[in-house]
Every structure is written in C-alpha cells, then in structure tokens.
Structure 1
Amino acid sequence: MIVGIDLGTTHSLIGVHRAQGGELFPNAHGDLLTPSVVSLDGDTVLVGKPAQDRLVTHPHLSVAAFKRLMGTSHETKLGDRRFRPEELSALVLRSLLADAEAALGERVTEAVISVPAYFTDAQRKATRAAGELAGIKVERLINEPTAAALAYGLRDRAGEGRVLVLDLGGGTFDVSILELFDGVVEVNATAGDNYLGGEDFLELLIKTFCQRNRIELSRLKPVDLAVLRQRMEQFKRALTDERSIDLELKLEGNAFTWSLDEAGFAQLAEPLLQRMRAPIERAMRDAKLKPSDLDDIVLVGGAVRMPMVARLVTRMFGRLPLRHIHPDQAIALGATVAAGLKSRDESLEEVVLTDVCPYTLGTQVAHRVGNQIQAGYFHPIIPRNSVVPVSREDSFYPMHDGQKQVRIDVFQGESPMVEKNIKLGEINVPLTAGQGESGVLVRFTYDINGLLQVEVTETGSGKRHELLIEQNPGLMDDAEIRERLERLQSLKIHPREQQQNLALITRAERVYEEHVAMRSSVQEWIAHFRNTLESQDLARIEQDRKRFATALDELETL
C-alpha cells in the first residue's frame, strides 16, 4: 500500500487515493491534523496532541518545528537522550502510519512525501532518511506546490494554462509556476524562503508583546515561555477571523494585557510581507512571465488564512487567488494523488510530473586581475529552474604553466562568491605532463531523485574521473541510519487506542499549570479520571472522558 504524506512544520497529514478521490485519515483523537510535536515520557514517545500540551508542562522533554532543522547535524536534547531532526520526523511518520494502518486494516510499505519546492539537496535526502527510520520506503518526494496543483484538479483543466502556487506553511514559503498541457504538469520556475512561515508571524507577535510590556524574553522560565507561545498562537488565529482582539495573560505572577486589530498586525508584519514579495518576483522573472500570463493563482498552507496574505497577492496581481480547498489539507490531498499515480490507480489518468533543480549548481573558479590571481568565484554549470533530468558541461583551464592537478569544487547556491554558497563535494584531477592548455571538461548531471554526478575529462589524454554526490555535510550515512534505527526501536510508542485518554490527561496537566485558582478542582478531576481508567470499563471510560473534556472546555473559556 502506498500512502501520501504531508510532513509539515506545524502539522502533518496522511491519506490514500481511492476511486472517489483522496481520503485523509484521522488520528486517534479524530483529527485529520496531527501536530508535528514530539515529547518523551520516560521510554515512551508521545506524538501530536498530547505532546503539544506537554510543550507547556514539560518543555524540556518536548520539541516542535524541527522540520526547519532537516539537512543539518543539529541534535535536540530531550531528557538524557539526543535526537537528530530525521529521528524526530521519523517518530511523527510512525504515528501517521499507525493511523493509516488502523483505517486501512493493512500494512503500509511505501509513501510519497511532500517537501517544500525550495528544499535543498540535503533537506530532501534527510526526508528520505526519516522515512527509512520510520520503516517505509519513500518512493518519491513531491514538491508541495505541485501537490497542491494536483489537489485542485488543475491537471484536469481543459486546454493549457499557467498556474502560480503560493504555499505559506508553518515554517517555509514556496513559490512555483506550473504549466499544464496534455496531461503534463511541468514546473517552469520555483523560488522560496526556507525560513519564512507562520512561525515567523508568531515570533513577531511574541517579540512585540514582550517589548511593549518590557518583558525580557531570554529570562522567561521554559514553562512561561511555552504558555506565552501557546496563548500568542491563539491570539494570532483569532486575528484571522475578528477585527480586534484583547489579550489577557499572566506571566510569572504578573498580569499583562494587549489589544490589537488585524490592520495593526498587518502593519507590524510588513517586513515579513516584503520578504514574501521577493521570491514571487524572482519566480516570475525566471519564468519570463507577466501577471497577465497567469491563468490561476492558488494559495495553500495554513498561514494563508491571514487576510494580509490574500491582500498582498491581490495587490501584486490584480485578482483574487483561489482558496476553495481547505488550505491545511490541499498538499496532503495532492500527495495522495501522486501516490495513486505511483500505484497506477485505474481511477486516475496518467499524468507526467516534471521537476526542476531548485538551486544553481556550479564550481569554483579564479580570475586573473592584472598580475594577481583571485580565487573564490562561483561559476554556474546547471542554472536554477533547469528541468530535470539535466546534464550540462563546461571547459576549464589551469592557471599556471606546468600545473600538475586541478581541484573541481562542487557548490550549490546563488551567490557570485563560493563562500556564501553550500559546498557539496570536490574531486582532484591530476593533469598529464605536457598537456599544455588543453584543460578539463566538466559535466554535471542532475537526476529526478536529486543525485548529482560530476564527470571530469582531461581533454588532452581523454582520461575520465567521476564523483557521485549522494551525501552532504551533516547527513547520516547508511551505517549511522542503521545505528539510529536500532536506538529508536528501544523507545515505546504509546498505544494508539489509549491516546485519547492520554491526551486528555496531558491537557488537564497543562490547564492545572495555567489556572492556579482552579488547581484543586483540576487535580480532583484528574484523580477521578485515572480511577475510571483503572476500571477498564470502556463504556464508563468514554462517558467520563466526555464529562472531563467538557469541564476543561468550560474552565478554559472563563
């Protein structure tokens, strides 16, 4: 069975394609959205809703937004254990797979996972590694804007067309221009910002609130910081639906208030909105298109609910964007279509999906300026937005007579200086004696799976040298993946059938933490519910769970 997965910064979803269309599976709490949060409770791993509540009650044992760390060697300390971003993502994937298998009644073995279009080579390989750690084969990575286009059914539109897809998620912003014709979905151009998303708008509110109330953010206790983030996230969402909101918040025993309307929020966020404009304009330039050349503009990602985003797009293009599919679900639904295409689902007509190389690939060269040689310049070989698979070559020559070797450095990036780009590898090529000015011919070949092959040929002797860029600095090799997989096996995943009860208890513990005046009542409710769980009477447990949840709802609305 092949499933489609949206592995998001803030929330993740899983589903499958059936004859009637994409179907997303609910988690143990009945929600389609599973928070991308992991918490450790002894040797037991909590994922999703209960882990999200433990961000407040056990901040030192809980972590969120780790998708932004994919492709790095950063390790997060939870208790006495350390986790790489791939491992944390694998734990989220395991939870999603358990939900899918519960709904399907069979084991899931393969998945198509969506990734930001602007994800680097390293980030894509880290996502594949996360799937391997979760025990599944990641047959394909699909760019999120392409998935969104499939979800909107744009592949079925009559005739040809160009579509601009803007995906503002929790942690990343993607821009893709797609051309659709004769069953082909071809990416014309892509751009984005891997560090711009809903989390940045949240951080803006937090910093502004602290500045206006003279709160030193760095000195807040972890619990107070977690409460602040949670309440500010609620505040941000409320500003999406209402013109003006009053916030009341207690931190370290002090009461604070803040009143803000949506227009004021948009004014504060103007620098972030300007950051959104840059990749949109770059993608349009790369595709050599004018606004009038676009047939549709599609908004996806949870953060596009903010009215300021639609206003920005309307001002830039003079028309309203499409938002008729749930913005949180569009990418996951598209991933299920891609999974259906992969499994050759009979209900789907064959669609050809093309991709592009999101970054420029090249090498380092030196220039002779007068009597001096200045190294460190970037020489592009495969320009960004080249349709893959792609193969390009260029010739290079030694700087000195009698030079015995040349080093071909492989870089990825857009800066004219290599020091600001990402080094992927290098290959040293000996030069045959007496070769003279013949130099070397360098060919870069980039395939659909994100593998880069570098081939260097000595033009004098015809000798060939090859380098396959499969690993990047900071990524795990096969041996480390096996070692990390064994370590993850020692962790227990909380049984799915008990997760509703666990989530309710962790929520109650958070409410106890936040509502000092009601602690006695909340503690009594927790004790009563734990006693009910001991009875193992399922009907009684369900009845008490509903009663307990209602009591917490009423308390939190006071």
Structure 2
Amino acid sequence: MIVGIDLGTTHSLISVWQENQAVLIPNALGEVLTPSAVGIGEEGHVLVGRAAHDYWLTRPESCATIFKRHMGSDRQYRLGQRSFRPEELSALVLKSLKADAEHYLHESVSEAIITVPAYFSNVQRTATRQAGELAGLTVKRLINEPTAAALSYGLQEAPNESTFMVVDLGGGTFDVAILERFDDLMEVRASTGDNFLGGEDFVDIILDMVRRQWPNLPYDGSSTLQGRLWREAERVKRVLGSGEDAEFALEWETASYRHTIHAAAFEKACEPLLQRIRRPIERALRDAKLDASTIGEVVLAGGATRMPMVRRLVAKMFGRIPAMHLNPDEVIARGAAVMAGLAARDQVLREIVMVDVCPYSLGTSITRQCNGVRQHGCFDPIIERNTPVPVSRESQYQTGHDYQQAVAIDVYQGEARLVKDNILLGTLEIPIPPRAAGEITMTVRFTYDVSGILECEVTIPSTGVVERLVLQGNAHSLTPSQVAARLQELATLKIHPRNQQANITTLARADRLHEELTGSDRRTLADQILAMEAALESQETESIDQARKMLEACMNRLERNYLY
C-alpha cells in the first residue's frame, strides 16, 4: 500500500487513493490535521500531534515545533534527556501518521509519496528521505508541494498546452511554481519560493503589535505567558483574516488586558511579508519568460492563503480571482494521494509524466579577472536554476597558479555572485601534474536526477584522470551508519499506544487550561481532571470514555465563558 503524506511545517496529513478518489485518513482524534509537534512528557513518554501542541503551550522547553524549517541542518532540539535532529522529529510525526493509516486501512503501510516545498534544496530533500526511513517507510518519491496541489485540482486533466501557476503559502514555507501541460506530460517551467515565510510569520506580526502595546509584561520570564500569547495571536489572526477588526484579550495574574487590532493596521504591518510573497511570483514569471496574462489559471494552496490580503495581492497581480474552491489545508495531501495512485498504476488514473526542475543553481568557485583586477571566490553556475531534470551539464576550467600539484573543485548551490554567500555541498580534490598556470584544463560535469542526487565528475584530458563525487546531502546529513544508529535509538523511546492518544491529548489540553484559569473555574476543572485520572486507573473503557467526554464538555464551557 502506497500512501501520500503532506509533511507540513505546522500540520501534517496522510492520504490514500481509494475507490477512485483521494481519501484523507483521520488520526486517533478523528481529525485529518495532525500538528507537526513533538514533546516529551513528565514521565518520559513521547507526545506527538495535538497532545504535544497543547503541551507546548505551557511547557515549550519540552516540545518542538516548526522543525521542518531546519531540515538538513545540524540544529539540535533538547527534549527531556536527549537531543533530536529535525529529521528525527519529522520521523516521529511520520510514524504517528503511519500508525493512523494502518489502523484505518487494516493493513501494513511501508511505502509513501512525501511532499516537500518546491524550493527545498537537495540537502533538505535528502533529510526528508531519511526521516521517512527512520519512520519505517520507503519513500517512493518526493513530490513538490505545488505539483501536488496541481494534481489535487485536477489540472493534470486540463486542456493540452495549458499553463498555470500554483501559489502555496503554508504555515512555515512559501512556494511558487509555473506548470505547463502537454498531452500526457506535466512540466514545471519555473519554481521558486522562501523556506522561511509562512502563516507563523503573520502570527509574529500580531505578537509584535501586542508587545509594543504592553511593554511591561514579562515576555521572557514565563513560558505559560508565551503559550497563552501565541494561542490568542493565532485566534486573532483568523478573525483578522476575515477582514474584520479583532480584540486581543489576555488575562494575566490579576490584570485583564484588552487591545483592538484593526484589520487595516494589521495589513499595513504585514506589508513587508506581502512584498516577500510578491517577489518570488515575479521571479517565477521572469524565469519562465512569461507574463501574468499568459497564465491560464492561478491556484492557491496552504492555509495562510485564506487571508484576504494574500488573495487580494494575487488577484491584483494577475487581474483575476485565483482558484480556491478546495480546502487549502488539504489540497496538497489530496494531490499526494493522486500521485500515490499514479505510482500504484491505478487504472482509473490516466498515466502522466511529471517533469520537474532543479530549484537552485549548482556550480563551482572560480577566479574572475577584469581590467587587471582578480577576484577569487566567484560563483560560476554549471546547472542554472529551473533547468528540467534529469540534467547533465559541463564546463571547462584552467589552473590559475603556476605548478599546482592538485586542484580542488568546490560544489556550491545558490544564486549569489560570491560562493561565500551560497551553500557548499562538497569538495573534490584531484592531483594534477605541475605546469604553468593555464596549461592544465579540466572538464567539470554536473549530473542532477529527479531524486535530488548530484554527481560531480572531473576529467583531466592531459592525464586521463577521472574523479567522481556523489552528493546526496552535506556535512550535516546523516550517514547510512548514523541512520541505523538513530533507528535503534528511536525504537527505545516510550510512545503512547494509538488507542490512548485521545486520553493523552485531553489531559494535555486540561493541564494547559488549568494553568490559564483562576478561582472557582480552576477548582471545577481540577475536579474533572481528577475524575478523569481515576477513570484511567480503573482501566475500564466505558468509564474512561465517559470521564473524557465530561472533561471535554467542561473545558469547552470554560473556554467559551473565560477566554473569549
């Protein structure tokens, strides 16, 4: 069974192609959206999803969120007694989704199509594959999120020679892709984006506005306050997203804080973010050598595209209303299910060939000379960004110093003029005969495939020496032996069984709410929590279910009366 997974920054979803349609699989709470959050509880158990997210609101030091932004880096998250890499945290989310799918499908799940931002580098794509491996999944293919959105909208069935753009603004990443359809071929013409732009940045704008309004609150001294501020900011963002003014309400210690945030003021504060959305759209059009009038349809994906200011921006740029009739939170996961059906060769789906592009330029470091001035460390692209893959390109270079005995070919990824501002992927050193500068010529060939694997081949014609370097990651990527070791470590973690997730999540929410309430409301909730814990001690399923429902009803009432 092949499943489709939208491994998101703030939420993740799992789907399957079943009975001629894309089906979203619910988690243990009956929800299709699983927060991309991982925490370690007081007893050392791993919390994933909604439970971890509620736990994060009161104990952020014991939880991790938004780790997708750091995939492929050496960043470490300290939770409990050990540290986790972003790949490991993502693997725990994937394992939870895998368990949900196996429960729903009543069969083992071992293969997956996983979506990634179009602007993910080959390092980040390698890290995503490793996360799948750590979760016990064989990643059949990584598919770009805008491409998945196009499949979800059925654009693979669009008329021949149609061109469309996908604008994907999720919780933490932003992607733009221009795709073209020819018969049974769907080709990406251009892809760009921003891996550090999403809905979370709009929440930060609201928090900045609040901090300026109430400068004396202990923003750095209380994790409970931080969680409460974030939760209220997220609620206010959704109200402002409808175009209405919103009141930011906070009860802290003995004081009550109220501040009205006007929709117009919020949009003005968000102008720098809107400009960051505009620039990749314009860049994609330039790279594809198209103008807005030639785009047949504009499709929106990602929950943050619900905001009217984002939709107005896109509509103004293209002179028409973008397509948004599908749930933007679900559109990528549904497209992943379509891709899973194509990978399984479902006869109902018309076979279509997907042609993607290399999202970044790949090149090496050279010395340039102009009017007698030499500048070292200049970037020379060998494969330009948005070149269709698979692709193989070569360039020729000469030695720059007399009597060199070796030459180092540095492989870089990026768009900056100087290599110091790009990403070093690896280095290939080759011995050469000592000759005068310029006498030794070398041919450097880069080959990049659909899996994001780059091969660098250097040939010295005068000696016949050929050296190769295969790059699947960088210095921060896990080696095969490290993956095996991490697999063993993850297997030792204590993870609550799936059938306990509803109880764990309810108690995590209750603990968070208990810290927010005061007086008789707090005592009422404490009694209900005690009743829930007593029911759990009894191990009687009927009593546990009844106690959980009573606790949830109590929390719903208190939140309505107290928080809003």
Matched, 1:510 2:498: no
**Bigger mean CA offset, 318-327 vs 369-378:** 369-378
Report whether the alignment pairs 1:261 with 2:262: yes
Instruction: Tell me, in whole angstroms, the C-alpha distance in 1 between the residues paired with 2:251 and 2:278.
Output: 37
Structure 2: distance between partners of 1:529 and 1:115: 40
CA contact (8 A) 1:56 1:510 kept: yes
State the AA in 2 paired with 1:322.
A
Aligned to 1:259, the other structure's residue is in SS state: strand
**1:215, 1:125 → 2: CA distance?**
45
- Superposition map of 1:53-452 within 5 A: 53-215=54-216, 219-241=220-242, 243-369=244-370, 373-433=374-434, 437-452=439-454
Instruction: Write out per-residue CA displacement over residues 201-223 of structure 1, whole angstroms, 9 at most, x where no aligned residue.
Output: 11111111101211467523122
Tell me, in whole angstroms, the C-alpha distance in 1 between the residues paired with 2:10 and 2:293: 34
Contact residue 224 and residue 252 of structure 1 kept, 8 A: no
In 2, distance between residues paired with 1:241 and 1:369?
56
Over 3 Å counting, the alpha-carbon distance change for 1:217 and 1:233 in structure 2 is farther
**CA contact 2:148–2:333 (8 Å) conserved in 1:** yes
Amino acid at match of 2:189: N
Q: Within the alignment, does 1:535 sit opposite 2:538 as a pair?
A: yes
TM-score, L = length of structure 1: 0.97
Alignment RMSD (CA, Å): 1.5
Distance 2:13 2:155 in 1: 21
Please tell me whether residue 453 in structure 1 is matched to residue 455 in structure 2: yes
Q: Which moved more, 1:195-204 or 1:531-540?
A: 531-540
What is aligned with 1:549?
A: 552
1:22 equivalent in alignment to 2:25: no
Q: For 2:221 and 2:269, how far apart are their aligned partners in 1?
A: 23
Does structure 2 retain, via aligned residues, the 8 Å contact 1:19–1:347?
no
Give deviations 1:69-114, integer Å, cap 9, x for gaps.
Answer: 1110111011221111011101100110110000000110010100
- Percent of aligned pairs with the same residue? 48
Q: Go from structure 1 to structure 2 and tell me whether the alpha carbon gap of 1:405 and 1:555 turns closer, same or farther (over 3 Å shift).
A: same
C-alpha distance in 2 between matches for 1:197 and 1:222: 23
Contact 1:25 1:103 in 2 (8 A): yes
Give 1:476's match in structure 2, choosing from 463, 475, 478: 478
C-alpha deviation, 1:450, in angstroms? 0.8
Contact 2:232-2:249 within 8 A present in 1 as well: no
Q: Shift in Å at residue 372 of structure 1?
A: 5.2
Q: How high is the TM-score relative to the length of structure 2?
A: 0.96
How far residue 39 of structure 1 moved from its aligned partner, in angstroms, is 1.1
Q: Distance in 2 between matches of 1:33 and 1:358?
A: 28
CA–CA distance in structure 2, aligned partners of residues 140 and 159 of structure 1: 26
Once the two structures are TM-superposed, the CA of residue 38 in structure 1 deviates from its matched residue by 0.7
SS of 1:550's equivalent? helix
SS of the aligned residue for 2:404 comes to: coil
Which amino acid in structure 2 is aligned with residue 31 of structure 1? E
Deviations 1:361-383 (A, max 9, x none): 00000123455532110001000
How far has the Cα of 1:18 moved from its partner? 1.5
Query: Retained in 2: the 8 A contact 1:210–1:217?
Result: no
SS in 2 for 1:139: strand
Tell me, what secondary structure is at the counterpart of 2:167? strand
Q: 1:344/1:371 Cα in 2 relative to 1: closer, same or farther (>3 Å)?
A: same
Residue 523 of structure 2 aligns to which amino acid in structure 1? S
Which stretch has the larger CA shift, 214-223 or 497-506? 214-223
- Alignment counterpart, residue 523 of structure 2, candidates 517, 520, 523: 520
Is the 1:377–1:417 contact (alpha carbons within 8 Å) kept by the matching residues of 2?
Answer: yes
Per-residue deviation, residues 396-455 of structure 1 (Å, max 9, x unmatched)? 011234333322111000001000000011112222356862511111111111111111
> CA 1:308/1:372 → structure 2, altered by over 3 Å: closer, same or farther?
closer
Q: Does the aligned pair in 1 maintain the 2:122–2:473 contact within 8 Å?
A: no
Amino acid at match of 2:60: P
Q: What SS class does the counterpart of residue 322 from structure 1 fall into?
A: coil
Bigger mean CA offset, 250-259 vs 465-474: 250-259
Q: CA deviation at 1:267?
A: 1.2
User: Does the Cα contact within 8 Å between 2:404 and 2:433 map onto a contact in 1?
Assistant: no
CA contact 1:187–1:356 (8 Å) conserved in 2: yes
Matched, 1:491 2:487: no
CA distance in 2, matches of 1:157, 1:374: 50
Shift of the 228–457 alpha-carbon distance from structure 1 to 2, 3 Å rule, reads: same
| AA at the equivalent of 2:45 | T
Q: Gaps spanning 5+ residues in structure 2: where?
A: none
1:469, 1:505 → 2: CA distance? 46
Q: CA deviation at 1:260?
A: 1.6
- Check whether the contact 1:299–1:323 (CA below 8 A) recurs between aligned residues: yes
Q: Could you say what secondary structure the match of 1:246 adopts?
A: strand
CA offset digits 1:153-188 (Å, max 9, x no partner): 000123221110000000000000000121211100
Distance in 2 (alpha carbons) for counterparts of 1:420 and 1:217: 37
Equivalent residues of 1:14, 1:332 under 8 A apart? yes
- Larger displacement relative to structure 2 (406-415 or 36-45): 36-45
User: In the TM superposition, what whole-angstrom CA distance separates every residue of 1:215-248 from its partner, at most 9, and x where no partner exists?
Assistant: 4675231221111111111111122235121121
Number of equivalent positions? 558
> What amino acid is aligned across from residue 17 of structure 2 in structure 1?
H
> Which residue in the other structure is 2:34 paired with?
34
Q: Is the 8 A contact 1:167 1:299 kept in 2?
A: yes
Find the aligned partners of 1:401 and 1:282 in 2 and give their Cα distance: 42
Instruction: Decide whether the 8 Å contact of 2:44 with 2:80 is kept in 1.
Output: no
Matched residue of 1:219: which SS? coil
Change (3 A) 1:314 1:304: same
- Residues 409, 429 of structure 2: 8 Å contact kept: yes
CA distance in structure 2 between the partners assigned to 1:56 and 1:159 by the alignment: 49
Q: Which letter maps to 1:531?
A: A
Output the CA distance in 2 between the equivalents of 1:281 and 1:372.
Answer: 35
Per-residue deviation at 1:199?
A: 0.7
Over residues 22-67 of structure 1, what are the superposed CA-to-partner deviations in whole Å (9 max), with x where a residue is unaligned?
1011011110000111111233111111111101232221111111
Contact kept? 1:110, 1:136, Cα under 8 Å: yes
Distance 2:364 2:380 in 1: 5
Unaligned stretches of 5+ residues in structure 1: none
Range 476-485 or range 105-114, more displaced:
476-485
